[in-house]
Amino acid sequence: MAKSFSQDVPKRHFHWTKKVSNEDEEVPTIKSSSNNTEDEKKEVNKAAVTTEPAASTPPPRKKLQAIAVSRLRSVLTAFNKNRSHLPLGLGPKVVGTLFGNRRGHVHFAFQRDPNSQPAFLIELATPISGLVREMASGLVRIALECDKEKEEEKKAVRLLEEPVWRTYCNGKKCGFAMRRECGPKDWKVLKAVEPISMGAGVLPAGNEEGDGNDGEIMYMRAKFERVVGSRDSEAFYMMNPDSNGAPELSIYLLRV
């Protein structure tokens, strides 16, 4: 029995260890294969996650906004450059002409240069003879006022485009003034005084103006400095080199 036991034990022990070794050999191969497949799946999924957004990601929103703003600025810049060449545009120095029939009303015209269409032409209710007397006494300040529109009725109307004005001469109310288009008679007067840079005088009457003194046109012409305070205020100061640069005539446009 001792011999048979000793023979059985090694066999049983050998058989058990062989069985265990087989399990140990098979288990690692199964685990390693499963790990590899899981790692490969993770790498594939990771690659898909990293590559798919890159193909479908739109440009950043801030970048699109910056491009839109830059394009809008370029359009506005070109628009403002084009507007500066319109007849309505005036620079810091303008040509001003005061004229009218001896027994008629005062007309004021402001031009960019002597041969351009008036950017602002207005007819005052003041007789030109009365304005000449005021100017002979000293400085003359003419204020033209118009009303602001209400917020609900507000329109993009430039100050020089306002049609009706209240007139004040040296603080005295002088009726109303009306903006008008430059007609053939007005343009004829401006063309007649075009060579004159500064001065005053009388133009002879034409056939359409009548005969005698009634048809004579009184005028005064000078350069004015234009100062823009805001979209609701502008001022024109006559430049007179004979009085050390002090203006003898000032015109104020106010929207109140």
Residues 51 and 106 in one domain: no
- Picking from 133, 176, 162, the residue whose alpha carbon sits closest to that of residue 232 is 162
Looking at the domain assignment, is residue 133 inside a domain? Answer: yes
pTM for the predicted model, two decimal places: 0.62
- Give tens-digit pLDDT for 131-189: 888 888 788 999 999 998 876 566 778 999 999 999 999 999 999 999 999 999 999 99
Look at residue 117 and tell me if it is in a domain.
Answer: yes
- pLDDT > 60? residue 74: yes
Whether 67 is in a domain gets the answer no
Say whether both 41 and 116 belong to one domain.
no
Element (H, E) at 254: strand 249-255
pLDDT in tens, 13-54: 444 444 444 444 444 444 444 445 555 555 545 544 444 444
Q: Is residue 9 part of a domain?
A: yes
The reply to whether 35 and 121 lie within a common domain is no
Whether 50 and 105 map to the same domain: the answer is: no
Considering the domain boundaries, does residue 26 fall inside one? Answer: yes
Amino acid 120: pLDDT: 95
Residue span of the structural domain in which 39 resides: 2-57
Looking at the fold, whether 114 and 51 belong to one and the same domain comes out as no
State the pLDDT at residue 228.
95
The CB-based long-range contact list for 177-185 (8 Å cut-off, 24+ gap) reads: 177/122, 177/123, 177/124, 177/125, 177/144, 178/122, 178/123, 179/120, 179/121, 179/122, 180/121, 180/122, 180/123, 181/121, 182/109, 182/117, 182/118, 182/121, 185/209
Cβ within 8 Å of residue 232, ≥6 positions away: 148, 159, 254, 255, 256
Give the mean pLDDT of 72-81: 57
The number of folded domains in the chain is 2
43 shares its domain with 99: no
Question: Which pLDDT value is given to residue 23?
Answer: 44
